[in-house]
Structures are given as structure tokens and as C-alpha cells.
Structure 1
Amino acid sequence: MPSSVPLVDLSPWFEGTPAGRAAVAAELDRALRDSGFLLVTGHGVPGELRTRTRELARRFFALPEDVKQRYAVTVGGRGWLPPGAEANGYAEGTETPPDLKESYSSGADTGVGDPDVDGFWFQRNVWPAEIPELEAAANEYMARMRALSDELLTAFAVALSLEADHFTRHTGHPTYTFNINWYPPMTHVGTPAPDQFRIGPHTDFGTVTVLDRQAGLGGLQVYTSDGRWEDAPFDPAAFTVNIGDLMARWTGGRWRSTRHRVLPPDANAPDEDLVSLIFFYETDHDARITSLGPPIGHTAYPDVIAAEYLREKLDAITVT
């Protein structure tokens, strides 16, 4: 059965011809209506940067536990999220065992001048002294991801026949998070508990997520529109892109914020470990998200303020 997750080449968008941009925008609209997920090539992000960032992160995750503990934080913090810190299934209201992963989290760190806002959304990034090269690589990666995400949001607006800056006018000083996830092997974590995943079933919370993943037996699955869990296709040159709940609300339900999960370690590959680079893009913290009405959208969600909505979601998945 062919995958429900399509592949879109962004090259014609970046080449800038009206016909090329319109064609890419139409493909994005179809993908986000039908699947909520897609693979994108032609994005212009150097493969060397992706490889280097992943390799440096692996060096951090290989450090002794007591060294990593110096950087330990809870969900929403900047630093190391240890095993057991997060259970994404709670976002759906499902009691679930903790996710079988570790993360290193960074993000937007240039504040807006309001201590209450800056203290959570624009915290200072913390970098491990043991891996000094990680800071520069991660910062370059985040800059690339923010630029790509804004291009995607621009293409999204064109796809809906809106002004090109309809979404990006709300990303002048955005919040975003960059999580590097390490999914340890079964030889490290043991046999998973019932209904325990590397990441439990959930939807993302923001506008757009850009994922650089590795293929594996214990890898990404997406929930199809006809109610099946399906292995996500993999292309080493591509990013996996999906929208989150904020964007689904913004489009009045036209586009799908799709459930997904990362399978637990597989007994057939007990030594398999994977590292994913995940960029969660949002909006300005005080952006008011108002559903687009017909003919674009079909559901009038109540307005939300981005930061308030996202904070509730993050609190829901934090294991206390």
C-alpha cells in the first residue's frame, strides 16, 4: 500500500517563478489536508550540518549519567531531559508510562523584556562544557530551521490564497524549541512496559515541525485519515514536516494536526539507537490565533493566545 505521506520538492518554490511557487503551494495544501505530514527535499539545508549536529549530540548522550545530570531540566527547560521526564501520551488524556528517550533541549533565547515571559519562553540556552562544539552547530541548525519554517509558513499562506505574510507577520519574535532526541537501544533501557513507546501517541502543539530523523524498526509512525498506524516513509535527503495544533486551529480545521508516535525498541534490533533533530516552531508569544473561516476553514475554534495555549499543552506531558 502506498504511503499516505507525500514527498514535495521545494526547489521550484526557492527558484521563485510564479508557476513553480504556485505548484509547490498546491502540493502543500493537498498534503496537509490529506495527511498532515510530508517529506520535503530541495530545502537547501546542508547535509554536513545535519550530520555534525547529530554526531556532537551523540557524544553528549554517551557521557556518564552523573555528568549529564549537571544539565538536567524538566519539560520546557533548557538542557538535558533525562529518562522518565516526559510522557507524550498524556497530551491525549491517556495515562501512559514515561517515554523511552533522552533529549537535549534549546530554543529561542532573545527575550522580549518581560521577565514573566522571558523566564519560560526565552530562557538562556545551556550548553555542555564537555562538548563545546555543540553550541555553534546547534545555533547554526536553529537559524537554518527558523528560516526554513518561515519559508514554509509563507508557502502555506500562498496555498490558501492569503497575503504572503499572513502567518509570518506573527513570527517577528517567535518562540521555538529545538529538541535533540536520543532513543536508546533495548540493551540500555530493557524491555518496554505495556503501551510504552519511545514517544507516545500525540499531536504536536505549534505551527510547523521540521524533523531530521533516522530510519529504524523502532521509528516514526503516523495515524492515517482512515484510522491506521503507518510507518512513516524515509528519505535521507528529506526533512519530515508536519503541522501542529495551533496551525490546525488557525486554518479552521482545513489542515490536519496528525497523531504520531515513535515505536519502542524492537526485540529484533536490540542494539538499535536513533537520534532525531526536531525543530518545533510556534509564533510570537502573544499572537492571537483566530480560525480562518469559509471557504478556507470549516471549524470556528475559540481564539487562543499562543503562549497560554502552548503552556497548557507542555504542562500536560510533564511527568511530575
Structure 2
Amino acid sequence: MLKTYRCGFMFVRADLPPEFPVLREKLFRLAHRFATLPDDVKERFAKPETSYSFGWSHGKEVMNRRPDTQKGSYYANPLIDHPDVSDELRSSYPEYYAGNVWPSGVEGLEEFEPTFKALGKVIFDVGIALAKACDTFVSPTLADSSSSTRPTISSLIGESKSNKARLLHYYPELSSSDTSRQDEDQVKQNDALCGTHLDHSLLTGLCSAMYLSSSDADTYDEGPKVVPAPSDTTGLWIYPRNSDTAVKVSIPQDCLAFQTGEALSLLTGGRLAATPHFVSGSTASAKPVSRETFAFFLQPDVNDVIGSDGETFGAFTKRVLGRHYAENIAQEAED
């Protein structure tokens, strides 16, 4: 069932439900349809009061000191629409507890919500099984190991109201006559689509990306055509543990992949280290090609302790968000 790909990255192939590939393609086509709507329609589903952590987000995130305008994201909790938490907690952590917003009233997107939830449930179920395997490996080193009632990784995920999925649409890159970008070494380091970063989850479930060419679409109902990646270097790259060299990761279409997040590294004292990664745009295609994918961040509730110093996941989240905002402020000061 499980195959480890270097450190911090795992493939799951066997035992996936038969509906998985259907859900994947259906949701990715819906992602493309949503992302190509007029801006004023998409902005109806943006929630700035949650730091754009629910609903639509485009150009709000900062990675590597750059505003991220190359991709659009749709955030939701596939398992819980409106978390049952206190008003105080909801007010303190709107990025986790404000609640989902869905484009169900938009023509052509009636299946967006149920498909998002169904694919999320598949990933969640597999993630719980993987978390239980991690428990047996690291149980003596969990952050709260002094407690007789210490939580397990699987219980932190399974009981959480903070799990969050992200449906991503990477917009087609503009053509460029700058042939210097074709140098292989430069291409491998081109993280223009998604800056090098760590997920701050415990585990992140990932689907294989799908590339769609709008120029090959025959009709609105048929939608864009599935095409190969624009180049061999386009896609997800990771840095294996103790390595400064990025490795290209190709997830088979019939597989799920999981990578380790920063919260898991804190929880386990580094025994399961977070996976640095980025998405390379590499080169622009002669035709407009978008990239669709889905990531499910499996993570604790905000009051769960993940650090050996007693730091909670909520405090950790605020620290990570503050780090990103600091990058944004520094960039604005230079501009």
C-alpha cells in the first residue's frame, strides 16, 4: 500500500477506492472552470476576514518575498462546513473556524462542493491510516510524551476541526523569448509558480497534477483537453533530508502522495522532518497550459500542543502567518 520516496514523501497506490480517479479529474475540471470565471464573480467567494484561508484567494500570499499571482486557490474544510466551536475561538482563529463558502449557485459549478468534499474524504481516510503507521514509529518522541494521555498523530488529525484543503489552479505562463531560462540548472531552481516553503500541517495529502490546454477545448461542456506537462522540469520538486539538491517528484495519476509538514517536525522532535518543496514553472508553453492540483492539510486543532515548549498549533500558525506578513512588509518597503 505504501511506498516511501526519499525522506518525507510517500506514495499510496493500492487500496484506493475506485471512484478516486473520477473524482480527481472531475474536481480539476471544476477548478479550471472556476478560475477562468470573471474576477468579479470569483471575488464574491473571497473571505479577507479569514486571511483568505476560506474560499477564493489570488495574489494575496507572499512566497520568497514575491506576491503570488501565478496561482489561484480555493480553500475549504472538506469534512466540516461550520466547526462547532465557541464564538471566542472562532473570532480568534477565523482562518480555521470561520466556515466554508461554496460557489454552488454559479452555473456549471453545481458539483463543485460535493466533489471537493468527496475527494477530501478519500484523502482523509488514507491519511488517518498513514498517521497510525507514523504513530508506531515516533510515539516515544511526541511533544507531550510526559503525559499518560498524550495524543497520537492519528487522533490529532481525526479529532481536528482545523483540517483544510486547497484546490489550486496555476495559470498558464506567458511565452517568453528569453532563451536563457531554458538552461537546465536555472530551470530546476525556477520556483516561480510556488516559492520554496514548508507546509505547516502534520501531513499533506496530494493528488497528481493535471495539465489542461484551453486552446484545445471544443465546447464549453467538454472543457479543456488534458495534455502532458509543458516540460520535463515542470511540477513539484522536493529537498530530501540533509540535501541541498532538489529532486523532481512525479506522482502517478492513480496514486495519492503524502509529505510531512512543519507541525509534525515539531511534534516529533525532528524525527519526521518537514519537506521543503516548490513548484517549478520551468518554461512557457506555445499553448496556454494550466496546472490543476489538490492538497489536503491534515493538522491539529489550535489548542493542541505540538511543541516541546508547550507551543500550541494555533500559536504556531500565528507565528507562520506573521513570518509571511513580515516578508510582505519588507518587500513593500523595498518597492
TM-score tier, shorter chain, comes to: 0.7 to 0.9
> After superposition, where does 1:103-252 map in structure 2 within 5 Å?
103-107=73-77, 108-119=80-91, 120=94, 121-128=96-103, 129-130=105-106, 131-160=109-138, 166-171=152-157, 172-187=159-174, 197-214=192-209, 216=229, 217=231, 218-224=234-240, 225-252=242-269
Distance 1:86 1:265 in 2: 21
State the superposition RMSD in angstroms: 2.9
| Distance of aligned partners of 1:43 and 1:260 in 2 relative to their CA distance in 1, 3 Å threshold | farther
Distance 1:143 1:116 in 2: 28
Given that residues 53 and 134 in structure 1 are in contact (C-alpha distance below 8 angstroms), is that contact kept between their aligned partners in structure 2?
yes
Task: Tell me the SS of whatever aligns to 1:253.
Answer: coil
| Distance of aligned partners of 1:265 and 1:190 in 2 relative to their CA distance in 1, 3 Å threshold | farther
Deviation of 1:67 (Å):
1.4
Distance 1:239 1:56 in 2: 19
Deviation of 1:37 (Å):
1.3
Task: Give the structure 1 partner of residue 26 of structure 2.
Answer: 52
Given that residues 23 and 119 in structure 2 are in contact (C-alpha distance below 8 angstroms), is that contact kept between their aligned partners in structure 1?
yes
Given that residues 154 and 164 in structure 1 are in contact (C-alpha distance below 8 angstroms), is that contact kept between their aligned partners in structure 2?
no
Moved more, 111-120 or 246-255: 111-120
| Distance of aligned partners of 1:248 and 1:208 in 2 relative to their CA distance in 1, 3 Å threshold | same
| Distance of aligned partners of 1:234 and 1:190 in 2 relative to their CA distance in 1, 3 Å threshold | farther
| Distance of aligned partners of 1:286 and 1:308 in 2 relative to their CA distance in 1, 3 Å threshold | same
| Distance of aligned partners of 1:161 and 1:78 in 2 relative to their CA distance in 1, 3 Å threshold | closer
Q: Deviations over 1:52-93 (max 9, x none)?
A: 1112222111212221122223444311102x211233xxxx
Distance 1:153 1:266 in 2: 37
Distance 2:10 2:305 in 1: 27
| Distance of aligned partners of 1:255 and 1:77 in 2 relative to their CA distance in 1, 3 Å threshold | closer
Equivalent residue for 1:101, pick from 71, 83, 92: 71
Question: What TM-score do you get using the length of structure 1 for normalisation?
Answer: 0.76
Deviation of 1:148 (Å):
2.0
Task: Tell me the SS of whatever aligns to 1:178.
Answer: strand
Residue identity matched to 1:219: G
Question: What TM-score do you get using the length of structure 2 for normalisation?
Answer: 0.73
Indicate yes or no: 2:58 matched with 1:72. Answer: no
Structure 1 unaligned residues grouped into runs of 5+: 1-8, 11-26, 90-94, 292-301
Task: Give the structure 1 partner of residue 298 of structure 2.
Answer: 281
Task: Give the structure 2 partner of residue 312 of structure 1.
Answer: 319
Deviation of 1:205 (Å):
0.3
The sequence identity of aligned pairs, in percent, is 22
